[in-house]
């Protein structure tokens, strides 16, 4: 056969794909369980989500949820931290505990034949961590040292400052790790109390994907978790209401002397994950900045050569989430890059609506590759756990593609007008202030508000 | 929290945690396998086209996607001094268009619902797409077009633009990143100027600026042709159809001459101590040794030694430096397996109150212990369990970096045998205490290594004594 190189081969009809069936169970103690049968590989993966992530950190104790998550595998029963890790290593398990914005998540992936053992380990660590004083001191010191190191990392400095600009004093306004002052004030009693009040079966959802029947998976989890019961003193979930504080200036600079690049964050609080506009927002972002081929990356990287890459997106959470554009640009291109970015934010609101080909590309990139996200047990468990996190229906996966397909260019312009506003966007630069200061003033963003890396 | 049941650790968890085989306590040696061998396999079919292109096919119909994975056997080791970073810059140009699709490579693949990327290292350059089954034709059309017809699409504008992008990649990942230039300094000392591992794959900024469009043509003709490439298709595709498509799209492309093999040797005759000042808060120590090349005798053992010494909470140095003595914030080690020669790196960041000389002394003690006594049987048993799990997890995805298609190409390009998976598992699973000990004794010598202290600017007093100042840009 001779290849016809006069045009690209057409893509055939999308192949059929059956998304995993999700079965919901409620254990006697109120724990919510979702099971998914996965027969492709002898691997079991599970995600435990406990309500209350960084958003549940008490004021002055920022970093408590993350500290508590970190303490869970420091010991249980007669075992210390090293023995716990050895036990997990013996079953080839991958374990992780992490405090997100809204929930604390534990995940564990292991070989199918060790599944019972893996589930037992998770229950042990979640329900009966030792929470010893010596471990607390060591873990806290490591986190303080980590904070110290993050000051050298421009991206970490930017994330921290940006959250603050977005949420101010709201519980979403800090990194999960907290800060030196709050970690310094933290005590073991804080951790013990947080664990006692926040961790309980009625506030926990488990998602498990494995090579077993739904009943088999239910028995597995029930065996390890059914004995857990709620403490009477459980707190209500932290409020997720949030609003962007009034800023004294739209421009914030964290000086980093001699930096060869400026780390940029541009954005504002925008939308909630459970918004009915979610599909349109996804398409809008795919046109604007979510993909390699989106407007912002094409402009900043492929046309201008200012950066190795620029992306935009929503940092979803249960409450109001920021829309944010992220890029690291050559220092001398800082002001031009900012002005290009702001122009792109304005453009999609009306002056430059998405073209037909942009719409086709954006929708196709979101929908046609969708089954790709369901290859491994871990991917499946995480995807289903995300439905639980945001209260989305079990039919979500099947409905996703048609909902995105139904979005039209007019919808994109409409949601861009409603949820994206360059005039409201905060511009944050972590970079060499001295060499960029003059070029920033013509942007009309006002006098920059200067912040130190650890402010 | 109140517990409603009395939990008996010894009764409930202990038995569950035991995964030993029936003679799992046999000291130091092999257990009867705990391997679930049946599911640990990577079957394939391989053919070589008339133009020399290797084609490997693996079927996996679980998800309606196909991984297209194409390796060119060229990396920064094939560059010349003064033109370092060229292989990687060239990789960027491969995404800018080819003669019959003379615009970006990304949109048609993303419009088909595909993911794509590429990467360059010292030894090879890889390109991959993961596409819905319905878009395999398109991915192969595009890969074959840039293999056969790249040059007409490389304009001066595109060349200059990607040169700027690469300079920004270098700034972002090396210059503006704490400790970002440490490994660059380290390998430049580990390998002599005559060795192509002397320079980093990203290249020097001056070399990148000095590159000319003419260099692109010669590089393309030498390295980018079917006889220097290996194509793997993995996923939801029938083997016969996969070979038909490979033949249709790539069969017409002319082969080029096989590039000359790069030969080079490296040897360290002494301990070299260096200090690098950087914008960092905590001093960090790097130790590096020359080690067995990829797949050579001792390579897997060094990999296991890295885990045993410094990876994860169960490792010896984590336990002593981070957990017990709290003089280090983190510690890690890895065997960098490469085609011409390997290197073994050990890295530890000092905690406040910890000093690099103290950390170095402790590392040396532990190294001596491993050389003298080797790992314990318990360590070997854990290592084997992790090896099995690691190889199993590697079989979960068909595409992308490290997926099944990438592994098949790695085995094919570096071993000439895509079926090396089973042997690869065995290299690790069959490793013994005495084997690890012997390799440790051979490689981890105190008087043949590079020791680099990275310290905050102006704090050279924190480095190991007698360290010579290096600067990297």
Residue A119: which pLDDT band, with cuts at 50, 70 and 90? very high
Contact A217, A381 (CB under 8 A): no
Task: Kindly report, residue by residue over B242-255, the tens digit of the pLDDT.
Answer: 999 999 999 999 99
Beta carbons of B313 and A42 less than 8 Å apart: no
Beta carbons of B397 and A375 less than 8 Å apart: yes
**Which pLDDT does position B15 carry in this prediction?**
35
Task: Kindly report, residue by residue over B412-429, the tens digit of the pLDDT.
Answer: 999 999 999 999 999 999
Q: Is B152 exposed, middle or buried (0-12, 13-18, 19+ CB in 10 A)?
A: exposed
Q: Tokens standing for A440? A: 């920033």
CATH of segment(s) B271-470: 3.30.830.10
Mean pLDDT of A291-315: 95
Q: Is the pLDDT of residue B22 over 50?
A: no
- Please tell me the pTM assigned to this model: 0.92
A37 shares contact with chain B (CB less than 8 Å): no
Task: Say how far apart CA B239 and CA B242 lie, in whole Å.
Answer: 5
**Which pLDDT does position A233 carry in this prediction?**
63
Cβ-based neighbours of B240, under 8 Å, separated by 6 or more: none
Q: Is the pLDDT of residue A243 over 90?
A: no
Q: Is the pLDDT of residue A247 over 60?
A: yes
Mind giving me the DSSP string for B75-125?
-GGG--TTSTTHHHHHHHHTTS-BTTB-S-SHHHHHHTT-EEEEEE-SS-E
**Which pLDDT does position B32 carry in this prediction?**
35
Per DSSP (E only), the strands in A93-177 are 94-99, 103-111
User: Among A116, A99, A254, A255, which Cα is nearest to A177's?
Assistant: A99
Q: Tokens standing for B251? A: 């069969």
**Which pLDDT does position B27 carry in this prediction?**
27
Residue B473: which pLDDT band, with cuts at 50, 70 and 90? confident
Q: Which contacts of A244-248 are long-range, i.e. CB under 8 A and separated by 24 or more positions?
A: A244/A166, A244/A167, A244/A168, A244/A268, A244/A269, A244/A424, A245/A167, A245/A168, A245/A169, A247/A165, A247/A426, A247/A449, A248/A449
From chain A, pick out residues whose CB is under 8 angstroms from the CB of B63.
Answer: 17, 371-372, 374-375
User: Among B72, B74, B88, which Cα is nearest to B208's?
Assistant: B88
Mean pLDDT of B7-21: 34
**Which pLDDT does position B12 carry in this prediction?**
34
Task: Say how far apart CA A69 and CA A126 lie, in whole Å.
Answer: 9
Residue A32: which pLDDT band, with cuts at 50, 70 and 90? very high
Task: Say how far apart CA B56 and CA B136 lie, in whole Å.
Answer: 15
B29-38, B76-85, B231-240, B357-366: range with lowest mean pLDDT = B29-38
Contact A44, A50 (CB under 8 A): no
Task: Kindly report, residue by residue over A397-444, the tens digit of the pLDDT.
Answer: 999 999 999 999 999 999 999 999 999 999 999 999 999 999 999 999
Q: Give the A window 109-148 contacts with B, CB below 8 Å.
A: 109-111, 113-114, 116-117, 120-121, 124, 127-128, 138, 141-142, 145-146, 148
Mean pLDDT of A257-262: 94
Instruction: Name beta bridge partners: A266.
Output: A325, A427
Q: Give the A window 147-176 contacts with B, CB below 8 Å.
A: 148-149, 151-154
Cβ-based neighbours of A105, under 8 Å, separated by 6 or more: A47, A48, A49, A50, A96, A97, A98, A99, A385
Cβ-based neighbours of A3, under 8 Å, separated by 6 or more: B141, B144, B248, B249, B252
Determine the 3-state secondary structure of B195 from DSSP. Answer: coil
CATH 3.30.830.10 residue spans of chain B: 45-250, 271-470
Mean pLDDT of A244-263: 89
Interface test with B, best of A1, A6, A11 (most B CBs within 10 A): A11
Minimum distance, in Å, between the CA of residue B131 and any CA atom of chain A: 7
Nearest residue in chain A measured CA to CA from B107: A293
A96-100, A386-390, B18-22: range with lowest mean pLDDT = B18-22
Beta carbons of A308 and B173 less than 8 Å apart: yes
Mind giving me the DSSP string for B446-463?
TTSEEEEEEEETT-GGGS
Q: Is the pLDDT of residue B4 over 80?
A: no
Residue whose tokens read 């979500």: A396
Task: Say how far apart CA B104 and CA B122 lie, in whole Å.
Answer: 26
Minimum distance, in Å, between the CA of residue A306 and any CA atom of chain B: 7
Assign 3-state DSSP to chain B and report helix, strand, coil percentages, each to 5.
Answer: 45, 20, 40
Task: Kindly report, residue by residue over B312-362, the tens digit of the pLDDT.
Answer: 899 999 999 999 999 999 999 999 999 999 999 999 999 999 999 999 999
Across chain A, what does the average pLDDT equal?
94
A28 shares contact with chain B (CB less than 8 Å): no
Mind giving me the DSSP string for B226-280?
GGGEEEEEEESS-HHHHHHHHHHHHTTSPP-PPPPPP-------SEEEEEEEES-
**Which pLDDT does position B17 carry in this prediction?**
36
Residue A240: which pLDDT band, with cuts at 50, 70 and 90? low
Q: Give the A window 381-440 contacts with B, CB below 8 Å.
A: none
The CATH superfamily of B45-250 is Metalloenzyme, LuxS/M16 peptidase-like (3.30.830.10)
Q: Tokens standing for B257? A: 């001459």
**Which pLDDT does position A340 carry in this prediction?**
97
Task: Say how far apart CA B10 and CA B31 lie, in whole Å.
Answer: 25
What ipTM does the predicted assembly reach? Answer: 0.92
Q: Give the A window 309-348 contacts with B, CB below 8 Å.
A: 328-330
Residue whose tokens read 């010893």: A132
Task: Say how far apart CA A144 and CA A264 lie, in whole Å.
Answer: 25
Residue A132: which pLDDT band, with cuts at 50, 70 and 90? very high
Beta carbons of A3 and B141 less than 8 Å apart: yes
Residue B30: which pLDDT band, with cuts at 50, 70 and 90? very low
**C-alpha atoms less than 13 angstroms from C-alpha of A18 in its C-beta half-sphere:** 8
Contact A213, A136 (CB under 8 A): no
Contact B276, B181 (CB under 8 A): yes
Domains of chain A: 23-225 (3.30.830.10), 251-450 (3.30.830.10)
Task: Say how far apart CA A317 and CA A311 lie, in whole Å.
Answer: 19
Beta carbons of B160 and A260 less than 8 Å apart: no
Q: Is A424 exposed, middle or buried (0-12, 13-18, 19+ CB in 10 A)?
A: middle
Contact A407, A363 (CB under 8 A): yes
Beta carbons of B133 and A15 less than 8 Å apart: yes
């Amino acid at each position: 056969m001779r290849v016809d190189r006069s045009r690209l081969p057409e893509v055939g009809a999308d192949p059929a794909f059956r998304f995993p069936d999700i079965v919901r169970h409620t254990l006697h103690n109120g724990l919510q369980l979702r099971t998914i049968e996965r027969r492709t590989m002898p691997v079991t993966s599970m995600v435990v989500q406990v309500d209350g992530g960084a958003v549940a950190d008490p004021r002055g104790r920022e970093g408590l949820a993350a500290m508590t998550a970190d303490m869970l595998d420091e010991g249980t029963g007669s075992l210390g931290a090293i023995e716990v890790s050895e036990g997990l290593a013996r079953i080839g398990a991958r374990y992780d505990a992490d405090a997100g914005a809204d929930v604390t998540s534990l995940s564990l992936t292991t070989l199918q034949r060790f599944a019972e053992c893996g589930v037992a380990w998770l229950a042990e660590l979640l329900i009966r961590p030792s929470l010893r004083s010596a471990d607390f001191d060591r873990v806290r010191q490591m986190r303080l040292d980590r904070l110290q190191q993050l000051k050298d990392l421009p991206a970490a400095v930017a994330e921290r400052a940006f959250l603050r600009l977005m949420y101010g004093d709201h519980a979403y306004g800090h990194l999960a790790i907290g800060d030196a002052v709050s970690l310094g004030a933290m005590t073991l009693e804080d951790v013990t109390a947080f664990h006692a009040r926040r961790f309980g079966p009625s506030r926990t959802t488990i998602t498990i994907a494995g090579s077993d029947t739904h009943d088999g998976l239910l028995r597995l989890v029930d065996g390890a978790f059914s004995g857990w019961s709620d403490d009477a003193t459980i707190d209500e979930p932290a409020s997720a209401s949030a609003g962007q504080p009034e800023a004294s200036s739209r421009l914030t600079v964290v000086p980093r002397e001699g930096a060869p690049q400026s780390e940029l964050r541009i954005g504002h609080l925008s939308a909630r994950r459970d918004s009915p506009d979610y599909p349109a927002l996804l398409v809008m972002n795919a046109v604007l900045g979510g993909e390699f081929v989106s407007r912002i990356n094409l402009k900043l990287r492929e046309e201008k050569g200012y950066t190795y890459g620029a992306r935009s997106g929503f940092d979803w959470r249960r409450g109001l989430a920021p829309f944010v554009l992220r890029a690291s640009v050559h220092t001398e291109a800082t002001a031009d890059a900012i002005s290009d970015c702001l122009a792109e934010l304005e453009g999609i609101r009306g002056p430059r609506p998405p073209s037909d080909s942009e719409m086709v590309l954006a929708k196709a990139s979101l929908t046609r590759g969708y089954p790709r996200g369901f290859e491994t047990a871990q991917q499946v468990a995480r995807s289903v756990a995300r439905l639980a996190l945001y209260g989305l229906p079990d039919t979500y996966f099947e409905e996703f593609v048609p909902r995105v397909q139904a979005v039209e260019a007019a919808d994109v312009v409409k949601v861009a007008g409603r949820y994206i506003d360059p005039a409201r966007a905060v511009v944050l630069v972590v970079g060499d202030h001295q060499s960029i200061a003059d070029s920033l003033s013509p942007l009309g963003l006002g006098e920059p508000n200067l912040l130190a890396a650890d402010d | 929290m109140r517990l409603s049941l009395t939990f008996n650790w010894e009764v409930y968890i202990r038995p569950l945690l035991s995964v030993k085989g029936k003679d799992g306590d046999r000291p130091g040696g092999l257990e009867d396998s705990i391997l679930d061998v049946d599911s640990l396999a990577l079957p394939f079919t391989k053919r070589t086209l008339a133009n020399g292109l290797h084609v490997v096919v693996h079927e996996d119909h679980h998800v309606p996607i196909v991984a297209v994975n194409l390796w060119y056997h060229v990396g920064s080791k094939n560059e010349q001094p003064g033109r370092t970073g060229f292989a990687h810059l060239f990789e960027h140009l491969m995404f800018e268009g080819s003669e019959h699709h003379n615009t970006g490579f990304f949109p048609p693949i993303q419009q088909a619902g595909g993911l794509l990327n590429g990467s360059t290292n010292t030894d090879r350059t890889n390109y991959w797409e993961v596409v819905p089954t319905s878009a395999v034709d398109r991915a192969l059309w595009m890969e074959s077009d840039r293999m056969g017809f790249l040059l007409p699409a490389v304009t001066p504008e595109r060349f200059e633009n990607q040169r700027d992008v690469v300079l920004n990649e270098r700034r972002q990942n090396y210059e503006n990143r704490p400790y970002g230039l440490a490994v660059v300094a380290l390998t430049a000392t580990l390998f002599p100027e005559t060795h192509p591992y002397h320079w980093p794959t990203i290249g020097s900024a001056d070399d990148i600026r000095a590159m000319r469009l003419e260099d692109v043509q010669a590089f393309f003709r030498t390295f980018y042709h079917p006889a220097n490439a290996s194509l793997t298709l993995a996923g939801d595709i029938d083997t016969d159809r996969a070979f038909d498509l490979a033949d249709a799209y790539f069969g017409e492309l002319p082969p080029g001459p096989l590039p000359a093999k790069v030969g080079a040797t490296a040897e360290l005759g002494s301990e070299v101590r260096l200090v690098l000042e950087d914008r960092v808060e905590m001093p960090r120590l790097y130790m590096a040794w020359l080690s067995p090349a990829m797949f050579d005798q001792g390579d897997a053992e060094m990999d296991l030694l890295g885990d045993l010494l410094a990876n994860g909470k169960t490792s010896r140095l984590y336990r002593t430096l981070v957990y017990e003595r709290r003089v280090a914030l983190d510690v890690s080690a890895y065997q960098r397996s490469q085609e011409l020669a390997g290197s073994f790196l050990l890295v530890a960041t000092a905690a406040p109150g910890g000093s690099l000389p103290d950390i170095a002394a402790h590392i040396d003690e532990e190294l001596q212990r491993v050389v003298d006594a080797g790992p314990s049987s318990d360590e070997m048993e854990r290592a084997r369990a992790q090896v099995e799990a690691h190889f199993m997890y590697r079989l979960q995805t068909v595409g992308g970096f490290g997926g099944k298609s990438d592994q098949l190409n790695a085995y094919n390009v570096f071993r000439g045998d895509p079926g090396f998976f089973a042997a690869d598992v065995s290299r690790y699973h069959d490793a013994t205490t005495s084997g690890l000990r012997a390799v440790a004794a051979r490689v981890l010598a105190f008087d043949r290594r590079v020791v680099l202290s990275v310290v905050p600017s102006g704090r050279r007093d924190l480095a190991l004594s007698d360290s010579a100042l290096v600067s990297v840009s």
